[in-house]
Every structure is written in C-alpha cells, then in structure tokens.
Structure 1
Amino acid sequence: MRIFSGIQPTGRKHLGNYIGAIVQYVEGQHRAAEHGDVGIFCVVDLHAMTVAYDPAEMRARVYDTAAILLAAGLDPERCIFFRQSDVPEHTELAWHLGAITSHGDLNRMHQFKEKSARQRDLVSADLFFYPVLMAADVLAYRAHEVPVGDDQRQHVELMRDLAQRFNARFGDELVVPELLVPATGARIMDLQAPDSKMSTTGGTAEGTVYVLDDAKTVEKKFKRAVTDSDDPPRIVRDPAKPGVTNLIDILAAASGRTHADVEAEMASARGYGDLKLATAAAVNALLDPVRERYAQLRPDEDALEAVLGAGAQKARAIASETLVDVRRVMGVGPRP
C-alpha cells in the first residue's frame, strides 16, 4: 500500500494544514511501512508557481515547510521526502496526461474558478493545468492512497478519472488511487468566521492559528473565537452552531478523541469559555513539540537540502520506471 501526498510551500502553515494533511502524512509513513511499502511526500513548489510569487520567498518557504514536516515527525529513513521540482518526471507525465484531459474537465475545477477570480494581472495557464500536474504527482508513483484535505476532493476525483481513462486506452499501467480524508478535522474553519475555511490568504488574522504561533498567541486566538448567543450555552455539533462545531472538531482532532467524547466531556462545562480554553490547551499540547523541533531544524538549510536531495534520488528511481512504461504504451520516446 503506497501513499503519496504533497504540500505547497505558500504561506505559513496553519492548524487546518496540520490536522488535515501533515498529521496524516506522519501516520501514513508508518502505515505504509507496516504493509511493506513506502509513504512518499513532497513540497510542491511547482504548484506554488501557479500564482504570483517572489523567488527568494519561495525558496525560504520551501525550507520552512520542509522543517515543519520533519519537526512534525516525517522520518526520511521511513519515507521518501523531496522537493517536487527536483523530479522532472512529474512534469513529463503531466504533459502525457494532458493528452487525455479535456478542457471541460479543467474548467469545472472549483479551485481554478476561485483562484482565477482573485488574480488581478494574470491568470496563468499553469493555474488552469494545476490538476493535471497534481494527478501526475500521484500517478507517477502508482500510489494507492492520497491523504489530503477535503478541499482537494475534486482534484483527486479527476486524478482517478484520468488514471481510468489512461488504462482504458493504453492498458493497465496506472494505479487508480483512493482519497483519504481524516475522520475528524477534515475541514478546520476560521475562528472568527466559522462559515469559512481557515486560510492564510482568505482568512482573518485573529481566526487563523499558525503552527508556529507561540502558546500565548494560540490561547489568545481561541479565547476570542466566535461561538453564539445561546443561553444557556449548548456545546454540541450542530449546523446552526458553526463556531461551536468548529471548536469541537478542533478539540477532537487535537486530542485524538471522537466528537461524542468531546461533547460528553463538555456537558458539565460552565460555558463556552471552558470549551475555548480546553481547545487551546489541546492545540498547544499538539504543537509544542513541533515548534521546539522546528527551531532546531530550520537554521540548517544545508541539512534540509541534503534531506530533500536524497529523497529526490529515491523518488526518481520509482517515477522513472513509471515513465518508461508510459512512454512505451503511448508510443513516444525511443523504441523500447
């Protein structure tokens, strides 16, 4: 059982990134190893080029993201961890997959519509083609599972369609992967606008909890989290109570419990303040070791480069085999 997922180096990583993706990466590397396979994870810097960016900032954020993932528990001895642009097989396979991808497939992508609407100067062709490159990222490794946040569901569905389409036309060369979304914490919402997803670009400053926020800042943000005016307070998951539901979701995910467990524990709470403090404490307990380890890892960029470079060599060894088979069945490249 092979697992693949990638994470963008854009912006600072927030709690939604951590719970929705990074925690799954760490769990996935162990689960894949238990099944005699490998977890493959990369910092997808090519995807980050689809919107306007600063080159120096891009490089720094790759190191930031790599250090956070390593601090969270990714182990280069147990998984393959690399930078996307170091493995050119990704872009080659994306071009091959483009031959079986329709304009209509890409025009239906929700993220393209949302991101292109925010672009003032240029809506790049890369942004439109983003889902095909994402499909190539996974299909190059014949991965079985793709642990991502719920917001990537549509992209993984397209990825599956392309794998099936390729296999139907050229033969069964690609694995059709399964989407893996966490049971709790799949979609962490903004603390100040709980109807919107927590985000570094579209979210509120006070409603976005960053992985590297210090403990006092985290507690302050949760104390100010939006709930509701119910009197007496009701600490239950309910679509009509998005702020309270979000806090319950975060507390459950951060503490490794179910929603029902959290609701039962909070049944005797004096009010929403108790829920906010409990959630802040659980989040700090989750992030404290990561922040400490990050502070040790981030300054040594040479060491980070060495980790990413070694991972890229391992990744290319797998992806190049897939590309040999893809070229052969598609009739491109040198004669086998």
Structure 2
Amino acid sequence: MSEFKQLVFSGVQPTGNLHLGNYLGALQKFVALQDSHDCIYCVVDLHSLTATLVHDDLKEQTRSIAAAFLACGLDPEKNIIFNQSRVPQHAELAWVFNCVARIGWMNRMTQFKDKAGKDRENASLGLLAYPSLMAADILVYRATHVPVGDDQKQHLELTRDIAQKFNNDFSHRIAELGYGVEMQVGEEAVNGFFPLTEPLIEGSATRVMSLRDGTKKMSKSDPSDLSRINLTDDADTIVRKIRKAKTDPAPLPGDIEGFVGRPEADNLVGIYAALAGISREKVIAEFGGKQFSEFKPALAELAVETLAPINAEMRRISADLGYVDGVLREGGERARQRAEETMKKVYEIVGLLAD
C-alpha cells in the first residue's frame, strides 16, 4: 500500500506590503524548507477578493509578493511558485468542498467573526466560505504539511475535517477505484484519498507584534505605517520606525520574567533575537539594564543589515516584469498539471461525467 509523498504548501495574500513579521514568521522558514522538502508556494489572489472585491492594483500586488518570494531566496527551480488564479482547479475543488463542509463549521471560524464584525448579514458569501477555498488550495495538491501560525491553526483543522469527511463519505468509491492511500489516524492505519494535512513548525515560532502596540500582531492592514517594517522600506525608513517604536521609560530587564506586563519591550527583544538568530536570553545578557536609547540603534542596525539586501533584490526583480511573470506562468503550468490529476480523480470519486 502506498503512502502520501511529503509535500509542503503555503499561500500568501497579495493585499498590502509584506513586512518584517511575514519575513520572520514565514518567508525565512520557506527558504529553509526548500532544501529538505518538495514545496509549492502560491500567491492566493482569489482570496484577496474576500477582503475587497474591486482592486486597482491586484496584478501589481501579486507581482510584488512573487518578487518578495524570490528576493528572500526561494528558488523557482526547486519550488513551484505561482498565483492561484492561474490554476482553476482551486476553485473547482472549493465547490466540491463547499458541498462537503457544514455551515456550522464555517460559522465557528474565528477569523470570519473578526472580519465580518457585527454586520455579519452584510458580509460576502466568499468571506464565509473562504476556508473551504483554503482547504482546496492545500488538498488539490494533496499536500501533507502546511507551515502555519497561530491564526491559521483553526483553518488547518477545518481542512483536516473536510478531508476526513470526504474520505469517509466516498470510502467505497475510493476503494473501488484504487485511489486509497495509507495514512495514520490516531492509532489506526486507514485508507483515504486526501491526506489529513499536518501543521509544520520549524524551530521556535516567531510572532512579531506591532511597533505601536505590543499586544497586537504586526499587520499589513494596520492603518498606521509606523506599526510595521515593510520589506520595501529603505534603510532610513527602517531606522526611523524603530526609533519611533513605542516603549516604556524603564530600562531593559535582566531576565525573562522582567518582561511581564511590558509587551513593547518584549516584542523588540524578540525581533532582535529572531534577526540575529540567537536566544532571547543572549539578547538580555548583552542589553539587560540598558536604556532603549542604546538598544534601539543596535536593533535598527541589525534590521537594516538583514533587510537592506532583500529590499535591493526586490527592487531589482520587480523592475523585470517579464521575469516575474515568467516565473508565475511556468509555476502555474507545473501546478496545473498536478491539480488536473487530482481533480480528474475527484470527479471520478464523486461520480461526475467530466471526461
């Protein structure tokens, strides 16, 4: 009996500039994964329609995300890099999953509640159902692993629920067609067509918070540009934003316990540790007891040293639209071949006359 081949999938929405949190929490890890895993990285442009239907610059934003992938070190030969709308099988499988998933499952999604707010009746159906499209993004390639942050764990759990319900509902058809693949569910080895995708956590999780409010995650959608360091920011802008980052009057504490109740200080030390690739304890050993007026210039210098080469490479790559479009086009063709194979089998399993 065959087993699922390990495959990593991840997608990034083309809404707003990528920032330091995206780099430390995702892109840096993507680059490390490409040497050990088969990886597919997608600019999920269809998902951006759930936030704002009409975009003036969606193509440019899509190219910008792709340029960031490449500038951070993702190799288009080693990985498949493409934009979602080039592969219609994402939307085809999402419709099948809309019929598999339950409305109650969607209503429980925390991000829908947050984004829809109090006016849920006026939210788009796409906003409610987009976790189903996210599940299709992953499972149309039968990906086994997804690098996820805390805010996406619930959606990955939903993806597993959808996969398991599909496998259960069509278990006889899957067996008749010989499309079952062995996987472990708890202590039991079972057959299924879709894998129960696992979260992939590489090293310690890096959660970068806003420079203006240490209790909120750094976000592309924050109205204040001072809340984040964009990958497109030049050196002077990075230095200015770190200098203006919110802090408190007390010096940096001499131990981890001293950060309790000091989220901004905790955030800046965490950023320094992540950029330097060292533990927070080592940062505290060097800067504990010192004022922010001494720590911030060191952090700014480290941030510029890390991000300036990425910024320069992004500008160089973005200036060559033919190259960026070529990477996305070729990646789309490679992705479509895999997705077509999956959808052909899905239609057979479901019983649709589609050949």
Please indicate, yes or no, whether the TM-score normalized by the shorter chain is above 0.5.
yes
Q: Does 1:249 align with 2:273?
A: no
Tell me which of 250, 253, 269 is aligned to 1:234: 253
Partner SS for 2:42? strand
Structure 2 stretches lacking a partner, 5+ long: 1-5, 172-191
Match of 2:176 in 1: none
Match of 2:285 in 1: 264
Distance 1:313 1:119, change over 3 A: farther
CA distance in 2, matches of 1:99, 1:58: 29
Task: Write the deviation string for residues 188-229 of structure 1: whole angstroms up to 9, x where unpaired.
Answer: 110111111111223532221111111111111112222223
Q: What's the offset of the Cα at 1:183?
A: 4.1
Distance 1:92 1:112, change over 3 A: same
Distance 1:69 1:57, change over 3 A: same
Partner SS for 1:75? coil
Q: What's the offset of the Cα at 1:235?
A: 5.2
Match of 2:8 in 1: 3
Partner SS for 2:313? helix
CA distance in 1, matches of 2:201, 2:56: 33
Match of 2:108 in 1: 108
Partner SS for 1:280? helix
Aligned AA for 2:268? L
Q: Does 1:14 align with 2:14?
A: no
Q: Does 1:40 align with 2:44?
A: no
Distance 1:82 1:275, change over 3 A: same
Structure 1 stretches lacking a partner, 5+ long: 33-37
Match of 2:28 in 1: 23
Aligned AA for 2:73? G
Q: Does 1:202 align with 2:222?
A: yes
- Asked if the contact 1:4–1:138 (Cα under 8 Å) also holds between the matched residues in 2, the reply is yes
CA distance in 2, matches of 1:235, 1:51: 43
CA distance in 2, matches of 1:4, 1:116: 27
- Asked if the contact 2:254–2:285 (Cα under 8 Å) also holds between the matched residues in 1, the reply is no
Q: What's the offset of the Cα at 1:150?
A: 2.3
- Asked if the contact 1:16–1:185 (Cα under 8 Å) also holds between the matched residues in 2, the reply is no
- Asked if the contact 2:276–2:302 (Cα under 8 Å) also holds between the matched residues in 1, the reply is yes
Alignment of 1:158-177 (within 5 A): 158-171=158-171, 172-177=192-197
Match of 1:81 in 2: 81
Partner SS for 1:133? helix
Task: Write the deviation string for residues 226-268 of structure 1: whole angstroms up to 9, x where unpaired.
Answer: 22233x541544341111111121112112122222222323x
Distance 1:42 1:125, change over 3 A: same
- Asked if the contact 1:163–1:175 (Cα under 8 Å) also holds between the matched residues in 2, the reply is yes
RMSD: 2.0
Identity %: 39
Q: What's the offset of the Cα at 1:276?
A: 2.1
- Asked if the contact 2:80–2:334 (Cα under 8 Å) also holds between the matched residues in 1, the reply is yes
Alignment of 1:1-336 (within 5 A): 1-32=6-37, 38-117=38-117, 122-171=122-171, 172-181=192-201, 183-184=203-204, 186-202=206-222, 204-230=224-250, 232-234=251-253, 236-237=255-256, 238-267=259-288, 270-334=290-354
Partner SS for 1:189? coil
Deviates more, 1:101-110 or 1:143-152: 143-152
Distance 1:98 1:181, change over 3 A: same
Task: Write the deviation string for residues 13-70 of structure 1: whole angstroms up to 9, x where unpaired.
Answer: 11111111111221122221xxxxx210010000001122544311111111111111
Task: Write the deviation string for residues 128-183 of structure 1: whole angstroms up to 9, x where unpaired.
Answer: 11101001101111112111332212111111221122222223001111112454
Partner SS for 1:206? helix
Q: What's the offset of the Cα at 1:272?
A: 2.2
Number of matched pairs: 328
- Asked if the contact 1:5–1:41 (Cα under 8 Å) also holds between the matched residues in 2, the reply is yes
CA distance in 2, matches of 1:276, 1:39: 37
CA distance in 2, matches of 1:233, 1:223: 15
Match of 1:35 in 2: none
Distance 1:65 1:91, change over 3 A: same
CA distance in 2, matches of 1:82, 1:119: 34
Aligned AA for 1:29? Q
CA distance in 1, matches of 2:59, 2:42: 14
Determine which structure has more spread, i.e. the larger CA radius of gyration: 2
Aligned AA for 1:170? F
Q: What's the offset of the Cα at 1:184?
A: 4.0
- Asked if the contact 1:3–1:144 (Cα under 8 Å) also holds between the matched residues in 2, the reply is yes
